[in-house]
């Protein structure tokens, strides 16, 4: 990728540390422990009332709670095996997806206790999620792949608005939109530039893709990945050399690599 926006992007990348998958894994593990202890505490509190209804009810409820925790633990094990490159049964990957989406909100709250920035957790979440998607080796036809990009990736002063139709882009090279349009044409995939999560969900609903390649900031990527679940989605962080929501850029090499990974 070349041009002024690439130079800005390089400066931004240099300023941001590479997200670590182990951070989110640690938070997930703590979340599972907290959930287990909370479930056990609730069961102990409810035990007298349940036993008054039926002597078998406490055992039944306890067994169900234990089963849920066991399934969640299997999901966590699926994450670990996938991240270490070990053979992972598809059912484990499915449970892993469910586990990370279920415990993400609790992980954010636990991170606050340890004074860990929310964006750091979100970057770690995106890394783990992307790894799991790639591990599943999902392949789709070009027309079933949707690239979602935020409108802030377009140069702010550009008069040609492309949120309704990306064909309005004149490909002047002043921002990454022209390159994204060119990539979409080369590979025959869909490209939508949206102004927010509502329009992104609308685009997904309208096109019904088999997979999504999303470009956004940490907050929008994490919420978007969770919104489209169980639809496979790979997230690529945009770069914000001029601050959030203004003339953002993206590494086009990463975008093209993600496209080719998805295509049959």
Given a contact cutoff of 8 angstroms between Cβ atoms, the answer to whether 121 and 103 are in contact is no
Q: Which domains does the chain have, with CATH numbers?
A: 21-135 (no CATH), 139-262 (3.40.50)
Q: What is the pLDDT of residue 44?
A: 87
For residue 143, the model assigns a pLDDT of: 94
Shortest CA distance to 218 belongs to which of 137, 136, 146, 111?
A: 111
What pLDDT is attached to residue 234?
A: 94
Mean pLDDT by 10 residues, the chain (264 residues): 48 45 85 88 84 84 87 80 72 73 85 90 90 86 93 86 81 87 93 85 90 92 86 91 86 93 88
Indicate the SS3 state at residue 206. Answer: helix
Task: Encode 4-38 in three state secondary structure.
Answer: HHHHHHHHHHHHCCCCCHHHHHHHHHHHHHHHHHH
C-alpha to C-alpha distance for 72 and 204, rounded to whole angstroms: 29
pLDDT at residue 57 in the model: 86
Q: What is the pLDDT of residue 9?
A: 46
Task: Identify the pLDDT of residue 8.
Answer: 46
Alpha-carbon gap, residue 250 to 9, rounded angstroms: 7
């Amino acid at each position: 990728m070349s041009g002024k926006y690439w130079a800005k992007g390089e400066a931004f990348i240099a300023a941001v540390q590479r997200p670590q998958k182990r951070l989110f894994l640690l938070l997930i593990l703590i979340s599972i422990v907290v959930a287990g202890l909370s479930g056990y505490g609730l069961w102990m509190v409810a035990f007298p009332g349940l036993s008054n209804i039926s002597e078998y009810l406490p055992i039944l409820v306890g067994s169900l709670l234990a089963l849920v925790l066991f399934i969640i633990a299997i999901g966590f094990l699926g994450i670990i095996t996938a991240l270490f490159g070990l053979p992972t049964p598809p059912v484990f990957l499915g449970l892993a997806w469910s586990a990370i989406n279920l415990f993400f909100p609790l992980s954010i709250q636990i991170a606050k206790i340890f004074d860990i920035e929310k964006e750091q957790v979100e970057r770690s979440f995106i890394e783990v999620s992307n790894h799991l998607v790639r591990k599943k080796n999902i392949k789709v036809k070009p027309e079933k792949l949707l690239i979602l990009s935020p409108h802030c990736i377009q140069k702010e002063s550009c008069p040609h608005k492309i949120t309704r139709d990306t064909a309005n882009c004149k490909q002047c090279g002043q921002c990454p939109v022209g390159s994204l349009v060119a990539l979409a044409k080369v590979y025959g995939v869909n490209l939508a530039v949206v102004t927010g999560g509502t329009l992104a969900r609308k685009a997904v609903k309208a096109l019904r893709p088999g997979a999504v390649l999303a470009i956004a900031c940490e907050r929008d990527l994490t919420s978007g990945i969770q919104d489209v679940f169980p639809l496979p989605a790979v997230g690529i962080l945009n770069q914000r050399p001029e601050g959030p929501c203004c003339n953002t850029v993206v590494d086009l090499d990463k975008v093209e690599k993600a496209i080719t990974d998805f295509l049959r």
